[in-house]
Amino acid sequence: MNAIATAVVAEQFDDIEQQHSAAKLGMWIFLATEVMFFGGLFLAYTVYRFTYGHVFALASRHLDDVFGGVNTAVLLFSSLLMALAVRAAELGRRKQLVRLLLATALFGVLFMTIKAFEYRKDFVEHLVPRFDFRWDGPDAANAELFFWIYFALTGLHAIHVTVGIALILVLALLASAGKFSQNFMPVEITGLYWHFVDIVWVFLFPLLYLAGHR
């Protein structure tokens, strides 16, 4: 094995292949952990939607599906960019990699911006629990429960998006310094995380925004 190839292999591993497959496996297990982390909130959603289905449908209609739908498209597109970035990393195309990573992060920021405007609208319409929450009609308490779950789920998701953007920007920085010419695994496993965040949103969109038909 030549000196350049051994330089990127950590001392506990025999070769780069072992190191790659270990990193990938570790990330997948972490994502399974994340499924269960979100799982607690999904359980709460499921139980209360089962119990208060009618109110949840009414409350869901107060959310703006344009925000939700457009944001879904934004995240899906950023996932595409991320997948292309991983490919660029594997092929060792440094410039393309940096550009694609920056574009992925940009769409992540776009998602967060749209989300921020949406939260602002929710606030103006008095849909934030405990902050002058107003609800016309019966079962105001249960509607408040729906909005609390909405904020918890989307808030937790937003934290994940923010972490993802930060990771991708760090990757872009390192990539421009040529860090991934030998070992593209950091890009690949960050990509896995980013796609996972996308998948969570793919479920949040119909569950939160489309719970009651319009």
Q: Which of residues 75-104 bind other proteins (CB under 8 A)?
A: 76-77, 79-80, 82-84, 86-87, 90-91
195 binds other proteins (CB under 8 A): yes
Q: Please provide residue 180's backbone torsions phi and psi, each rounded to the nearest 5 degrees.
A: -100, 20
152 binds other proteins (CB under 8 A): yes
CA distance 40 to 29: 18
1 binds other proteins (CB under 8 A): no
211 binds other proteins (CB under 8 A): yes
Closest approach, Cβ 154 to other proteins, in A, equals 14
Q: Which of 110, 114, 174, 203 binds other proteins (CB under 8 A)?
A: 203
118 binds other proteins (CB under 8 A): no
CA distance 107 to 113: 10
Instruction: Determine what percent of the chain falls in helix, strand and coil, rounding each to the nearest 5.
Output: 80, 0, 20
207 binds other proteins (CB under 8 A): yes
108 binds other proteins (CB under 8 A): no
Radius of gyration for the chain, computed over Cα atoms and rounded to the nearest angstrom: 21
Residue 164 neighbours by CB under 8 Å, 6+ apart: 108, 190, 193, 194, 197
206 binds other proteins (CB under 8 A): yes
- Among the residue ranges 1-9, 109-117, 145-153, 166-174, the one whose residues contact other proteins (CB under 8 A): 145-153
**Three-state SS at 70:** helix
43 binds other proteins (CB under 8 A): yes
> If binding means CB under 8 A, how many residues of this protein chain bind other proteins?
76
Amino acid at 107: F
